[in-house]
Amino acid sequence: MANGIVEDPLIFVSIDADGIVTLVAHRSEMGTGSRTSIPMVMADEMEADWSRVKIVQAPGDEPKYGNQDTDGSRSMRHHIQMARKIGGSVRTMLARAAAQEWGVEPDQVTVEMHEVKGPGGQTAGFGDLAEAAMSQPVPPHEEIAYKTEDQFRYIGKGEVQITDLHDITTGKATYGADVTLDGMKFAVIARSPVVGGKAISFDATEALNIPGVESVQELPYGGLGQKFAPLGGIAVIATNTFAAIKGRDALEIEWESGEHGSYNSDSYMQELIATSEKPGTSARTQGDVDGALASADKVFARTYTQAHMAHIPMEPPAALANYTDEGLEIWAPVQSPYTTRTDTAKALGLDPEKVRVNVTLLGGGFGRKSKADFVTEAALLSKAVGAPVRVQWTREDDVQHSFYHTTSAERIEVALDADNKVTGWLHRSVAPSILSTFAPDEGNVLPLEQGMGLNDLPFDIANIRCESGKALAHTRIGWFRAVSNIPHAWAIGSFVGELAAELGKNQREMWLELIGEPRQLDPAAAGLPDNFWNYGEPMTEFPIETGRLAKVLNVAADGIGYGKELPEGEGIGLAVHRSFVSYVAAAARVKIVDGRITVPEMHMAIDCGFCANPERVESQMQGAAVMGMTVALHSGITYRDGAVVESNFYDYDVVRSDNYPSVTTHIMPHPFSVHATGVGEPGVPPVPPAVANALFEATGERKRDLPIGTTV
């Protein structure tokens, strides 16, 4: 993790004379609760009263705060120990300061709920000791007497309200487009419909006649392989958002499409499927799959596909930049505050020391707001017009100019022996890679994409080969919540359902047979490559444990009553997947209502190691169920002649309140000694195959292409 973890309490904690404890939240809040849960862990270990804790958001400054990239389901996984260390340090410092003042030994002093007590009945508030405590030397780890689990007040309880709750419910919470500066201008940008396209000519006469439109600025053009650089285009600068939008509508622009103008989803998918039928590059070779297939009693193969997806957070990208002689100041809803700072500095030729990135709340992120092209746009425009500029993306901009989730074809072929036991598993995945956003594209995927559900297959099968086929990107590929786990889990989970039906087994039996006995996957015996990702974690500490996988599957299946009699037109589907070193199972009940696919009920079972904030884990599972359903039924970005066809919720819709699943969340209990693992993303991957497996049970029809659609 770039710039690592900082554990210095003096960076993260301050206490004022009134005893108010201010904690720095250094990771971005996009709905997962990191701005609540990490400070909550600090407060608990510090024995601070949560009602006397204030949270402030860190600007983008990784040398000071450590890694701030809020992605990869890492906030709690990587910071629970750091937060305890910081809280424990401050508690120790408070006790030592009090001991000095009272002339007693530090171990005679107790710290409890914002109060410090001595052996002779002495008491002091945090405020009384603030100065003396915060000037104590920071104790090393081994000198901190950490709380035991039974002493936790907030950790593991799920009883605190989220930090911004009052502001959110009263409209006072500040998101990207909510910061204003005197003299601020509003900008909306016309971008090439095709990535890498340019304006050959444009006429802004009509746009400039619109009241409120002040100027038109051409931005330098971008394309593929340029990291998060803006796409460029023609910006309309105005005195309000409406004038800017109207001005953009009035621009007459002739676009040149460039090399990606022939990108068409239908023909591209046929290419991906054709590639999946030919040998690719192996990402894992265990045993002899070719031999197993050649000697099989029966071979069973299926192909699954997925269309591109856009994240469409409720808040479309928006950012404010103010470029002056002193430097550049930014207010933006970004998952990557420090990358935003360094990238924007580079784009403007500034020393990063001259750039400050203030992080607002994010109105959803899902990976989109790791890529701060919209911030660089605002910075370039502020410099160009000599005033603060807010760039506002419209929803159409967001749907049509994103960094898209990849599109893929997944072919799985298995060898069955005479007893219908699976003896060989060949999975070929073909999808354009995130790598194409960072480097010249050669059609190869990254080990981390292969590690997300392709080569970490946890099944007990003698012969396994997982391959990647080449696919060149024709649009900007980015990460979307759960990333490559979505197409991989879609294929594997659907295939297990199909195989069960083919072999006359129920889904649970089929899953459990393939998962096998509880064991840890042996990386060498499994033929995993040296670059096997494992989410950046050592396999020794975060092994692939099939017992945990089977456990969550059984809990979800039992929770929904798998196997019970169902009325005509209903079915239950099961799927389970390990991602972000967590294990999540989804059990979905589908009900066909007048031809419409509804999912009235879902059980989500998660094993995320020690669970610091069960309430936010539950909300993440509820949200993952809804987003997973949207992936299953709705989300498909289509290209025609290089341009995205969809534009707004009317043709790129999501699950709404009239079809949300009632979710029951089961969190596997663990002591603190079991590593906390990811939560934000791993709920999503098992949901689409669970829905498809349920749909098959309800209708007898097998769907293999995402999105499935909303009707049967």
Partner 1 sequence: MTKIMLNGSETEFSEDPAMPLLWAIRDIAGLPGTKYGCGAGLCGACTVHVDGMAQKSCQLTLSDVEGREVTTIEGLDPDGNHALQIAWRDLNVPQCGFCQTGQIMQAASLLSENPKPTDEEILTSMSGNVCRCGCYQRIVDAVRLASTGS
Q: Which residues of 462-497 are buried (b: 16+ CB within 10 A; e: fewer)?
A: ebbbbbbbbbbbbbbbbbbbbbbbbbbbbbbbbbbb
Which one, 388 or 432, has the nearer CB to partner 1? 388
CA dihedral sign of residues 535, 540, 542, 548: positive
Shortest distance in whole angstroms from residue 659 CB to partner 1: 8
Shortest distance in whole angstroms from residue 37 CB to partner 1: 12
Q: Which residues bind partner 1 (CB under 8 A)?
A: 29-33, 161-162, 164-166, 168-175, 177-178, 180, 186, 211-212, 240-243, 245, 312-316, 361-366, 392, 394-395, 615, 619-620, 622-627, 648-650, 654-658, 660-663
Which one, 431 or 624, has the nearer CB to partner 1? 624
Which one, 540 or 657, has the nearer CB to partner 1? 657
Shortest distance in whole angstroms from residue 35 CB to partner 1: 11
Shortest distance in whole angstroms from residue 44 CB to partner 1: 18
> Which residues face 216 on adjacent strands?
236
Residue position matching structure tokens 């889990």:
489
Which one, 549 or 625, has the nearer CB to partner 1? 625
Shortest distance in whole angstroms from residue 109 CB to partner 1: 35
Which one, 365 or 636, has the nearer CB to partner 1? 365
> Which residues face 492 on adjacent strands?
none
Q: Which residue stretches of 176-264 are H helix?
A: 205-208, 241-250
Which one, 162 or 708, has the nearer CB to partner 1? 162
Shortest distance in whole angstroms from residue 378 CB to partner 1: 16
Contact of 42 with 23, CB cutoff 8 Å:
yes
Which one, 5 or 314, has the nearer CB to partner 1? 314
Helix axis angle for 485-503 and 507-515, nearest 10°, is 110
Give the Cα separation of 562 and 550 in Å (integer).
15
**Angle, CA of 411, 415 and 417, to the nearest 5°:** 160
Which one, 31 or 352, has the nearer CB to partner 1? 31
Shortest distance in whole angstroms from residue 449 CB to partner 1: 24
Residue position matching structure tokens 């359902």:
497
Shortest distance in whole angstroms from residue 364 CB to partner 1: 5
From the list 381, 397, 245, the residue with the least C-alpha distance to 315 is 397
Contact of 428 with 304, CB cutoff 8 Å:
no
Which one, 15 or 251, has the nearer CB to partner 1? 251
What are the DSSP calls for 342-401, one per residue? HHHHHHHT--GGGEEEEE---S--TTGGGSTHHHHHHHHHHHHHTS-EEEE--HHHHHHS
Instruction: Determine which helix (DSSP H) or strand (DSSP E) holds 268, and give its type and residue range.
Output: helix 265-276
Contact of 230 with 372, CB cutoff 8 Å:
no
Shortest distance in whole angstroms from residue 445 CB to partner 1: 27
